[in-house]
Amino acid sequence: MLCNTLKVNMLLVPVWASMLLGLLLGFLPVVGMEPMGEGRSVPEHAPNSDPVPSSPGSNCSQLTLKLEFSSKVVEHEYIVGFTGYFSAKARRLYISSALRNTKDGALEWHIVPRENPASDFPSDFELVHIRQASPSSLLTLEDHPYIKRVTPQRKVFRTLKYIPSSEPAAPCNATRGTQSWQSSRPFRRSSLSLGSGFWHATGRHSSRRLLRAIPRQVAQILQADVLWQMGHTGSGVKVAVFDTGLSEKHPHFKNVKERTNWTNEKTLDDGLGHGTFVAGVIASMRECQGFAPDSELHIFRVFTNNQVSYTSWFLDAFNYAILKKIDVLNLSIGGPDFMDHPFVDKVWELTANRVIMVSAIGNDGPLYGTLNNPADQMDVIGVGGIDFEDNIARFSSRGMTTWELPGGYGRVKPDIVTYGSGVRGSGMKEGCRSLSGTSVASPVVAGAVTLLASTVLNRELVNPASMKQALIASARRLPGVNMFEQGHGKLDLIRAYQILNSYRPQASLSPSYIDLTECPYMWPYCSQPIYYGGMPTIVNVTILNGMGVTGRIIDKPIWQPYLPQNGDHIDVAVSYSPVLWPWAGYLAVSISVAKKAASWEGIAQGHVMVTVASPAENDSEVGGELTSTVKLPIKVKIVPTPPRSKRVLWDQYHNLRYPPGYFPRDNLRMKNDPLDWNGDHIHTNFRDMYQHLRSMGYFVEVLGAPITCFDASQYGTLLMVDSEEEYFPEEITKLRRDIDNGLSLIIFSDWYNTSVMRKVKFYDENTRQWWMPDTGGANVPALNDLISVWGMAFSDGLYEGDFTLADHDMYYASGCSIARFPEDGIVIAKNLKDQGLEVLKQETAVVEGVPILGLYQTPSDGGGRIALYGDSNCIDDSHRQKDCFWLLDALLQYTSYSMTPPSLSHSHSRVAPPAGTERPLPQRLEGNHLYRYSKVLEAHLGDPKPRPLPACPHLSWAKPQPVNETAPSNLWKHQKLLSVDLDKVALPNVRAYRPQVRPLSPGESGAWDIPGGNAWLTVTTVRIMPGHYNQEVGQTIPVFAFLGAMVVLSFFVVQLTKAKSKPKRRKPRIKRPTYLQQQQTATGKNPGV
By DSSP bridging, strand 717-721 and strand 744-748 are parallel
pLDDT (mean) for 29-46: 34
pLDDT (mean) for 120-127: 89
pLDDT (mean) for 881-898: 96
Closest among 617, 634, 498, 664 to 565, alpha carbons compared: 634
Q: Which residues pair with 834 in a beta bridge?
A: 799
Higher pLDDT, 199 or 953: 953
Task: Specify whether 274 is catalytic.
Answer: yes
Yes or no: say if 742 and 864 are a contact pair by the CB < 8 Å rule: yes
- Dihedral through CA 157, CA 162, CA 166, CA 172, nearest 10? 120
CA 729, distance to chain mean position in Å, is 40
Catalytic residue among 274, 488, 683, 929: 274
Yes or no: say if 578 and 548 are a contact pair by the CB < 8 Å rule: no
Q: What is the model's pLDDT at position 609? A: 97
Closest among 211, 80, 230, 236 to 144, alpha carbons compared: 80
The vertex-866 CA angle with 861 and 867, nearest 5°, equals 155
Whether the pLDDT of residue 919 is over 60: the answer is yes
pLDDT (mean) for 904-919: 90
DSSP symbol at 201: B
Question: What is each CA distance from 998 to 41, 188, 1002, in whole angstroms?
Answer: 20, 47, 12
Instruction: Please name the residues in contact with 343: beta carbons below 8 A apart, sequence gap of 6 or more.
Output: 189, 311, 314, 373, 374
Closest among 474, 451, 473 to 462, alpha carbons compared: 451
916 pLDDT tier (thresholds 50, 70, 90): confident
Higher pLDDT, 264 or 979: 264
Listed range (112-126, 246-260, 376-390, 685-699) with the worst mean pLDDT: 112-126
Task: Specify whether 979 is catalytic.
Answer: no
Alpha carbon distance 961, 606 (integer Å): 10
- Dihedral through CA 829, CA 675, CA 684, CA 490, nearest 10? -140
Listed range (195-204, 568-577, 725-734) with the worst mean pLDDT: 195-204
Yes or no: say if 745 and 720 are a contact pair by the CB < 8 Å rule: yes
Question: What is each CA distance from 870 to 720, 819, 829, in whole angstroms?
Answer: 12, 10, 11
Radius of gyration of the chain (CA): 35
Alpha carbon distance 83, 150 (integer Å): 12
Yes or no: say if 560 and 607 are a contact pair by the CB < 8 Å rule: yes
Q: Which residues pair with 1013 in a beta bridge?
A: none
Task: Print the SS3 string covering 271-321.
Answer: CCCHHHHHHHHHHCCCCCCCCCCCCEEEEEECCCCCCEEEHHHHHHHHHHH
Instruction: Please name the residues in contact with 96: beta carbons below 8 A apart, sequence gap of 6 or more.
Output: none
Q: What is the model's pLDDT at position 673? A: 67
Task: Specify whether 298 is catalytic.
Answer: no
Closest among 298, 315, 398, 303 to 349, alpha carbons compared: 315
Q: What is the model's pLDDT at position 979? A: 47
Yes or no: say if 317 and 424 are a contact pair by the CB < 8 Å rule: no
**Most confidently modeled range among 86-100, 454-468, 767-781, 910-924:** 454-468
If one counts every other C-beta atom within 10 angstroms of the C-beta of residue 711, the result is: 8
Whether the pLDDT of residue 7 is over 50: the answer is no
Q: What is the model's pLDDT at position 444? A: 97
Higher pLDDT, 361 or 676: 361
Closest among 1020, 1019, 1014 to 389, alpha carbons compared: 1014
Give the pLDDT confidence of 622-664 residue by residue, as tens digits.
558 999 999 999 999 999 999 999 999 999 999 988 777 777 8
Question: What is each CA distance from 476 to 419, 442, 593, 972, 1013, in whole angstroms?
Answer: 13, 17, 33, 12, 21
Whether the pLDDT of residue 995 is over 70: the answer is no
Closest among 343, 413, 424 to 384, alpha carbons compared: 413
pLDDT (mean) for 950-978: 84
| DSSP secondary structure, 474-486, as one string | HPBPPTT--HHHH
Whether the pLDDT of residue 685 is over 70: the answer is yes
Yes or no: say if 824 and 880 are a contact pair by the CB < 8 Å rule: no
Yes or no: say if 262 and 302 are a contact pair by the CB < 8 Å rule: yes
Alpha carbon distance 516, 638 (integer Å): 10
Whether the pLDDT of residue 219 is over 80: the answer is yes
Question: What is each CA distance from 399 to 361, 485, 589, in whole angstroms?
Answer: 9, 7, 18
Whether the pLDDT of residue 35 is over 50: the answer is no
Q: What is the model's pLDDT at position 869? A: 98
Q: What is the model's pLDDT at position 22? A: 45
Give the pLDDT confidence of 790-806 residue by residue, as tens digits.
999 999 999 999 999 99
Listed range (32-46, 153-167, 565-579, 643-657) with the worst mean pLDDT: 32-46
Q: SS3 for 585?
A: strand
Give the pLDDT confidence of 615-624 residue by residue, as tens digits.
987 655 555 8
Alpha carbon distance 861, 894 (integer Å): 17
Q: Which residues of 627-658 are buried (b: 16+ CB within 10 A; e: fewer)?
A: bbebebbbbbbbbebbeebbbbbbbbbbbbbb
Whether the pLDDT of residue 585 is over 80: the answer is yes
Yes or no: say if 539 and 530 are a contact pair by the CB < 8 Å rule: no
Percent with pLDDT over 70 in the chain: 75
Alpha carbon distance 907, 805 (integer Å): 8
- How confident is the prediction for the chain on average, in pLDDT? 80
Q: What is the model's pLDDT at position 942? A: 67
Instruction: Please name the residues in contact with 500: beta carbons below 8 A apart, sequence gap of 6 or more.
Output: 452, 455, 456, 461, 462, 466, 467, 470
Give the pLDDT confidence of 223-237 residue by residue, as tens digits.
999 999 999 999 999
Yes or no: say if 992 and 229 are a contact pair by the CB < 8 Å rule: yes
Q: What is the model's pLDDT at position 702? A: 96
Whether the pLDDT of residue 1017 is over 60: the answer is no
| DSSP secondary structure, 795-860, as one string | -S--EEEEEEETTEEEEEEEE--EEE--TTSEEEEEEEEEHHHHHHH----EEEEEEEEEEEE-SS
Whether the pLDDT of residue 518 is over 70: the answer is yes
Sign for the pseudo-dihedral over CA of 189, 192, 196, 202: positive
Q: Is 404 exposed, middle or buried (0-12, 13-18, 19+ CB in 10 A)?
A: middle
Q: What is the model's pLDDT at position 406? A: 80
Q: Say if residue 729 is preceded by a cis peptide, omega within 30 of 0.
A: no
Alpha carbon distance 469, 248 (integer Å): 36
pLDDT (mean) for 820-845: 95
Listed range (39-53, 362-376, 794-808) with the worst mean pLDDT: 39-53
Q: What is the model's pLDDT at position 991? A: 43
pLDDT (mean) for 332-336: 72
142 pLDDT tier (thresholds 50, 70, 90): confident
Instruction: Please name the residues in contact with 145: beta carbons below 8 A apart, sequence gap of 6 or more.
Output: 83
54 pLDDT tier (thresholds 50, 70, 90): very low
Yes or no: say if 555 and 474 are a contact pair by the CB < 8 Å rule: no
Alpha carbon distance 1001, 978 (integer Å): 45
Q: Which residues pair with 744 in a beta bridge?
A: 717
Higher pLDDT, 524 or 311: 524
Q: What is the model's pLDDT at position 1039? A: 63
Q: How far apart are the first and last CA of the chain?
A: 19
Half-sphere exposure of 878 (CA within 13 A, CB side): 28
Characterise 764 by phi-psi region: left (phi > 0), alpha (psi -120 to 50), beta (else). Answer: beta
Catalytic residue among 124, 243, 270, 774: 243
Q: What is the model's pLDDT at position 659? A: 73
Give the pLDDT confidence of 548-566 residue by residue, as tens digits.
999 999 999 999 999 999 9
Higher pLDDT, 1023 or 341: 341
* Length of the chain measured in residues: 1089
Higher pLDDT, 1031 or 319: 319
Half-sphere exposure of 207 (CA within 13 A, CB side): 0
Listed range (391-405, 564-578, 833-847, 964-978) with the worst mean pLDDT: 964-978
Catalytic residue among 284, 421, 439, 474: 439
